[in-house]
Every structure is written in C-alpha cells, then in structure tokens.
C-alpha cells in the first residue's frame, strides 16, 4: 500500500480488505481467532485446505460407498470388478478423472498418504481419522489385489476403451478387464510399491488397530519377496495395457530400494537393513535424479533412509544423508548446485503434464527432511552455502501458497478452496450431472458434448488439486486439457502432510 495514505485510512482499508478476504476464502468455522503456537498470521487457511485435501479421496472412491460418505453426489460403482477373473476387486480408487483402477499409482497414493500421517498425523487433530479412512480405503483394496501368493492384480478396466467414453463411474459399461502380474509376467515396480504401501500403512494402524497392522506388514513382507525374487518390469509384460498411462520409465530398481526402506522401518528386521546395504548402489541410491513421483522413488527412498540415520542413529545409513543433501541442493534456489526450474511466479516446474504432482511431493519431502534435520541439529551444505531446516520450510511453504492462490492468476488450484478455483476440471463424475439430478443412464459417447462445453462442472469435487499452470503461469481452465485440468490421487496424497504441518505451525490446529 502507498505510504502517502493516512494511518487511519490505512487501517480502515486493511480492515475492509481483510474482512472481505476472510469472508470469501475462509469459512468462519475453520478460521482460528487466536494463534496458540506462534504469533504470526497466515495468508491461508491451511486447516480448511487440509480438510478439503482429504475429502477429495471420497470423490475418487470405487465400490460400495459407506453410510458416512460425505461426497454425496457420488454413488456405488464397479460392484462386479474382478469377476472377469473370479476374484473380488471391488473398491479402491479411480486414480484421476477416468474410471480405470491402476494399481501402480494407487499404491503410491497409499504410501504417501501413510507417510503424511506418520510424519504429521500427530498434528492433524480431527482430520486424523479421516486421513486414516482414506488410507484404509486403499489398503483394503491392495489386500484383495495381493490375496494370492506370487500374484498381484494391478489394473481393472481397459484404459483405451474407457478413454473413448465420457461417462459417470456409476454408468460404466466399458470392459472391466483385469490385469495381473505373476511369476511368468513379473512386475517388480508395482509389486515393490504395493509392498511399500502396505508397510507404511501398517505403521499408521499400529496403535489404533494392531490386528490390521500385523496383517498389512505380513502381506508387505510376502509381496516384497515376490517383487525381489521375480524381477522384471510390468511395463514390459503388460506394455499394451499400461503404457503410456502408467508406464514405468525409471525402471524397478527405485521401487525395490523404496520398498526395502519401508519394510526396514515397519519391521526393524536387520534383514532389510542388510538388503539396503548390499543392494543400495545397484538400486540407484546415489543417482543424481531429482524427480519424485508415482514413477521414480529414488529421492523418496534417500530422504526416508536419511531419517534412519539422522533420527534413529543407524550409522550404516550415514551415506544417505549425503544422498539426500544432494537432492536438496539441486532444488533450493540460490545455491551453486541448484538445477530446479521455477515459473516466473515461483512454481517449481518439472513437466507440462500434471506438474502439480511434483510440487506437492517435493514440498512434502522438504518439510519431512526439515523435521529430521531439526531433530538431529543438522544443516545441509550446498557448495559452501548453508541451507537450514528453516529455509527448507520456507521453500515448501512458498510452493503450497502458490498452489492455494499466491500466484499471478490469483487462482487456487485446489477445487473448492478460496474465492477462485478451476471450474471445468477434466473429471467425468464431476462434469456430468449426478444420479440425483439425472437418474437415467448417460451413454458412453453422449457425455462428450458436455465434456467439450464451456459450462462449469455441476458437481464440485472439493479438495481436488489439478495438474496446474504451464511454465509461464498460464491456466486455461478447459476440460479437454487433461495435462493441466485433471486431478489425481497422487497429487493430493503428499499435500495432506504438508497442509497438516502448515496448519499446525500457524496455530490453526
């Protein structure tokens, strides 16, 4: 504001602007009147965003919906999934805006939701139970998919035929083909990620449901053994079905390291520590890649294993502090080793298709690593520039704030948060009238007229985070633009942890 304005005018202007902002962006019941922890104000209602980021998963549910389902425009769907192979594969999540169940990203989503709760669940207060339910919806399905030894059902639905339709999941009439990996058609990346998900979730339920926790960890051990013994890429054996949708470009080595790291954490069995020590280099422990997402887990494994050294003092994993530091240095702006690209508005930019997944996963890793550094009184040295835990938190907060509206378009990329957010997301269920409004079946191709229209989606998929703006901070808000307008479970999963931390640190929880 201009310095020439009088003090009283300035106060009135500030008061009016603040009141207007709060009335639009922050529902009164969520906005805290007093900050108990730190006397600083937040630009965003992180608590409200946290609530919505978890609620989103209910909109992605497949199967028989429970009585406490809060996203009421969704109904039961996929109730015969698995019947083509005489197995029960009802449940789980649709990964994004279509009606296919892809096991690879579903498992990664479950792992990251679990990690969010493991690191920051203690801060979540009333949202912790909702986060646990979101995890359990994933693990219940993964338990079904891994019920047979040395077999994992990794996909339900024909992606090409599904994408040729624009229909609600409740109306689905495309083939529900079932794909599996086994000894003859291995899939180490999806198997090891599934093991990681089960192991991570076992830690979430260890105190609240020990019986379920033990089931999860026993299954994780078995599934990881299968992943490691029968090595091979599922993108090879099932290429025509899983590519280009969730083709693994980084290979399966990163998942084996990641899966072993989670099993070491969940079981404390020295066997996994030894596995990591013997196989770490071969599995890419010190590679210089700095992308973390559903395909490449190297960076996540490094950060997780550095915790075992920094917090649990496992000296044999000392090198992982160095590996993690290399990643951090490649990311933080202003250090001699920084390689990351940012938009003019300050958003981390990796690629045009679903870039926000890298923003949310990276922000989570920064906050988790900051936590580990703080607990061990350590810093990161980036070519002579010292990077503190506080700096990492600042970088992460800036990314989350951009996502929530601090950007050149003043748009929140989370649906339902703030006064301005995407109206035409690439999502079948959200874009088509719900069953209550239109009980009659909407045929496969007749939905495309709505998909191509400029009308806003009738069903608000609250909490959905879309792919986000391009490298110039532009966002057209078009349904046909799946690269920028499609939400996905693996975009939201790591954001849950970051929002819990930020809400707590600003006294909102």
Residue-wise pLDDT tens digits, 103-137 = 999 999 999 999 999 999 999 999 999 999 999 99
pLDDT at 294: 96
pLDDT over 90 percentage in the chain: 87
- List 287, 427, 486, 504, catalytic entry: 486
Q: Are 228 and 192 in contact (CB under 8 A)?
A: yes
In whole angstroms, what is the distance from residue 397 CA to residue 366 CA?
10
- List 58, 323, 477, 504, catalytic entry: 477
In whole angstroms, what is the distance from residue 132 CA to residue 125 CA?
12
| pLDDT for residue 28 is more than 70 | no
Query: Can you read off the two tokens belonging to residue 51?
Result: 């609530």
| pLDDT for residue 444 is more than 50 | yes
Q: Evaluate whether residue 101 is within a structural domain.
A: yes
| pLDDT for residue 261 is more than 90 | yes
Q: Residue 239's pLDDT band (boundaries 50, 70, 90)? A: confident
Q: Residue 21's pLDDT band (boundaries 50, 70, 90)? A: very low
DSSP code of residue 239? H
Q: Residue 20's pLDDT band (boundaries 50, 70, 90)? A: very low
- To the nearest 10 degrees (0 to 180), the angle between helices 128-145 and 103-120 is 150
Residue 143 host element (H or E): helix 128-145
Length, in residues, of the chain: 509
pLDDT over 70 percentage in the chain: 92
pLDDT at 287: 84
Q: Are 415 and 461 in contact (CB under 8 A)?
A: yes
Whether the upstream peptide bond of residue 244 has omega within 30° of 0, thus cis, is yes
| pLDDT for residue 23 is more than 90 | no
The arithmetic mean of pLDDT across residues 151-156, rounded, is: 97
Residue 294 has φ and ψ, to the nearest 5°, of -60, -20
The arithmetic mean of pLDDT across residues 375-391, rounded, is: 97
In whole angstroms, what is the distance from residue 125 CA to residue 137 CA?
20
Query: Can you read off the two tokens belonging to residue 178?
Result: 């079932």
Q: Which domain holds residue 166?
A: 60-249
pLDDT at 5: 36
Q: Evaluate whether residue 317 is within a structural domain.
A: no
| pLDDT for residue 277 is more than 50 | yes
DSSP 3-state of 178: strand
Q: Evaluate whether residue 469 is within a structural domain.
A: no
- List 426, 427, 473, 504, catalytic entry: 426
Alpha carbon of 175 to those of 119, 129, 141, 237: distances in Å? 40, 35, 20, 20
Which residues lie below 8 Å from residue 77, measured CB to CB, with a gap of 6+?
62, 63, 99, 168, 169, 170, 172
Alpha carbon of 404 to those of 57, 71, 377, 422: distances in Å? 18, 21, 31, 12
| pLDDT for residue 26 is more than 90 | no
pLDDT at 11: 39
- Rg for the chain (alpha carbons), in Å? 22
Q: Evaluate whether residue 189 is within a structural domain.
A: yes
| pLDDT for residue 17 is more than 70 | no
At 468-497, the pLDDT tens digits run 999 999 999 999 999 999 999 999 999 999
Q: Residue 40's pLDDT band (boundaries 50, 70, 90)? A: low
pLDDT at 64: 98
Look at the chain and report how many structural domains it folds into.
Answer: 1
Active site residue 477: yes
The separation between the first and the last C-alpha atoms of the chain, rounded to the nearest angstrom, is 31
pLDDT at 290: 87
| pLDDT for residue 440 is more than 50 | yes
Q: Residue 39's pLDDT band (boundaries 50, 70, 90)? A: very low
Q: Evaluate whether residue 476 is within a structural domain.
A: no
pLDDT at 24: 38
Q: What is the CATH number of the domain that holds 224?
A: 1.50.10.10
Q: Residue 3's pLDDT band (boundaries 50, 70, 90)? A: very low
| pLDDT for residue 170 is more than 60 | yes
The arithmetic mean of pLDDT across residues 133-159, rounded, is: 97
Neighbours of 172 (CB within 10 A): 22
In whole angstroms, what is the distance from residue 125 CA to residue 281 CA?
40
pLDDT at 271: 97
Q: Are 401 and 393 in contact (CB under 8 A)?
A: no
Q: Which of 171, 75, 166, 60 is nearest to 450 (CA)?
A: 166
pLDDT at 489: 98
Chain-centre distance for alpha carbon 9: 45
Higher per-residue pLDDT: 308 or 239:
308
Rounded to the nearest integer, the mean pLDDT of the chain is 92
pLDDT at 4: 36
In whole angstroms, what is the distance from residue 436 CA to residue 439 CA?
6
| pLDDT for residue 99 is more than 70 | yes
Q: Are 254 and 283 in contact (CB under 8 A)?
A: yes
Q: Which long-range contacts (CB under 8 A, 24 or more apart) does 470-477 make?
A: 470/343, 470/352, 471/341, 471/343, 471/349, 471/352, 472/343, 472/344, 473/343, 473/344, 473/345, 473/347, 473/407, 473/408, 473/409, 474/409, 475/409, 475/411, 475/413, 475/422, 477/422, 477/423, 477/424
Q: Which of 425, 421, 431 is nearest to 488 (CA)?
A: 425
Q: Evaluate whether residue 104 is within a structural domain.
A: yes
Q: Evaluate whether residue 354 is within a structural domain.
A: no
Neighbours of 183 (CB within 10 A): 12
> Could you tell me whether strands 385-387 and 178-182 are parallel, antiparallel, or unpaired per DSSP bridges?
unpaired
pLDDT at 244: 87
Q: Evaluate whether residue 108 is within a structural domain.
A: yes
Q: Are 489 and 109 in contact (CB under 8 A)?
A: yes
């Amino acid at each position: 504001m201009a310095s020439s304005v009088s003090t009283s005018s300035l106060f009135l202007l500030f008061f009016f602007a603040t009141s207007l902002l709060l009335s639009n962006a922050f529902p009164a019941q969520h906005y805290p009147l007093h900050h108990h922890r730190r006397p600083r104000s937040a630009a965003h209602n992180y608590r409200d965003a946290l609530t919505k980021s978890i609620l989103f998963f209910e909109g992605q549910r497949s199967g028989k919906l429970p009585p406490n389902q809060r996203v009421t425009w969704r109904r039961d769907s996929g109730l015969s999934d698995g019947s083509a192979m005489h197995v029960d594969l009802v449940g789980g999540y649709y990964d994004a805006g279509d009606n296919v169940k892809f096991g690879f990203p579903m498992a990664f989503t479950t792992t990251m939701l679990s990690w969010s709760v493991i690191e920051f669940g203690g801060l979540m207060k009333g949202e912790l139970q909702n986060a646990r339910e979101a995890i359990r919806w994933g693990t219940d399905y993964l338990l079904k998919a891994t019920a047979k030894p040395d077999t994992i059902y990794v996909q339900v639905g024909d992606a090409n035929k599904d994408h040729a339709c624009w229909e609600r999941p409740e109306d689905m009439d495309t083939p529900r083909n079932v794909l599996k990996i086994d000894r003859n058609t291995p899939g180490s990346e999806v198997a090891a990620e599934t093991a990681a998900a089960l192991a991570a979730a076992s830690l979430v339920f260890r105190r609240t449901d020990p019986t379920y926790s033990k089931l999860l960890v026993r299954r994780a051990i078995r599934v990881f053994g299968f992943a490691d013994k029968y090595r091979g890429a599922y993108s090879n054996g099932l290429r025509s079905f899983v590519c280009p949708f969730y083709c693994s470009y980084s290979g399966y080595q990163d998942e084996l390291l990641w899966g072993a790291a989670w099993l070491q954490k969940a079981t404390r069995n020295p066997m996994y520590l030894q596995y990591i020590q013997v196989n770490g280099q071969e599995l890419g422990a010190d590679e210089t890649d700095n992308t973390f997402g559903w395909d490449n887990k190297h960076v996540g494994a490094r950060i997780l294993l550095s915790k075992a050294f920094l917090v649990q003092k496992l000296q044999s994993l000392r090198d992982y502090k160095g590996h993690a530091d290399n990643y951090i240095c490649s990311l933080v702006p202003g250090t001699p080793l920084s390689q990351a690209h940012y938009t003019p508005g300050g958003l981390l930019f990796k690629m045009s298709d679903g870039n926000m997944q890298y923003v949310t996963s990276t922000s989570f890793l920064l906050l988790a690593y900051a936590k580990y550094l703080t607990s061990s009184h350590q810093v990161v040295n980036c070519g002579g520039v010292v990077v503190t835990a506080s700096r990492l938190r600042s970088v992460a907060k800036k990314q989350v704030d951009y996502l929530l509206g601090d950007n050149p378009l003043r748009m929140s990329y989370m649906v339902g948060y703030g006064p301005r957010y995407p109206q035409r997301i690439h999502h079948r269920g959200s874009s088509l009238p719900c069953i209550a409004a239109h009980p009659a079946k909407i045929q496969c191709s007749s939905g495309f007229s709505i998909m191509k229209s400029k009308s806003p989606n009738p069903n608000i998929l609250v909490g959905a985070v879309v792919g986000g703006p391009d490298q110039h901070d532009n966002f057209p808000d078009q349904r046909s633009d799946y690269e920028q307008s499609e939400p996905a479970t693996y975009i939201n999963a790591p954001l849950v942890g970051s929002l819990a931390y930020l809400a707590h640190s600003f006294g909102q929880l």
